[in-house]
Amino acid sequence: MNPIRLRLTHLASRRFLLAAVLTLAVIGGAGAATEAAAAAASAPYCGITWGSLPRGAGDSSPAPLLDVRTGRHDCYDRVVLDFDGAATGYNVRYTDDVVTQGKGDVVNIAGGARLDVTLLEPAYNVQTGTPTFPHGDGDHLANVAGYRTLRDVVYGGSFEGYTTVGIGVRARLPFRVFTLAGPGDHSRIVIDVAHRWSA
């Protein structure tokens, strides 16, 4: 074979091999980038692994509801329910409609999804029947303008030792519920709703 043609063939082969290696590197890099992006997309937001299934705990208690407050945090919005005494009983779940205690009327709640919070505690003194949380069915309990997740917090009434609060949120997002003792002989049931599902 002609030496010049042999040299050109050799150069062409080297170029082909180099192009193949570069192509594989790019594909591998893209694959790794895609893998990393997929892993990041499925990683829990702020390490939150709460989920959105119903939560329930505790027993009924005569500790009456005193107040409902909200707060904003970096990774979630919070609703705090304050009680006079040790309150531990609750059932919290996503639902299409939140209804009032006793009457069963649908409560008007803003937001793309609704959490039905049933407290196993009254909103009145069980000895005297005096209201400890003087609100009417359908009353909006907090100004949540500017919150990332919360859209509404609405009172659903209290009847025969049970109290309902409806929480409107932007979408069906992960949430957690837990109880805290104090201050003093009071207690709190806390509901946190994450701003999003994944990082």
Residues 26 and 114 grouped into a single domain: no
> In the predicted model, what is the mean pLDDT of residues 69-83?
98
Residues 28 and 67 grouped into a single domain: no
Residues 65 and 23 grouped into a single domain: no
Residue 185 forms part of a structural domain: yes
* pLDDT range class, residue 166, cuts 50, 70, 90: very high
Structure tokens at 157: 């009434």
Residues 37 and 88 grouped into a single domain: no
Among 138, 136, 124, 170, CA closest to 151: 170
Residue 199 forms part of a structural domain: no
Residue 144 forms part of a structural domain: yes
> In the predicted model, what is the mean pLDDT of residues 83-91?
96
Q: Partners of 44 in the beta sheet? A: 198
The domain containing residue 163 runs over which residues?
A: 55-194
Q: Look up the pTM and report it.
A: 0.79
Residues 59 and 38 grouped into a single domain: no
Number of independent structural domains in the chain = 2
Sheet hosting strand 90-95, strand order edge to edge:
55-57, 90-95, 113-119, 162-169, 150-159
Signed CA dihedral, 59, 80, 180, 149: sign only: positive
Residue 120 forms part of a structural domain: yes
* pLDDT range class, residue 43, cuts 50, 70, 90: confident
Residues 18 and 92 grouped into a single domain: no
Residue 48 forms part of a structural domain: no
- Work out the number of other CB atoms within 10 angstroms of the CB of residue 128: 8
3-class secondary-structure state, position 113: strand
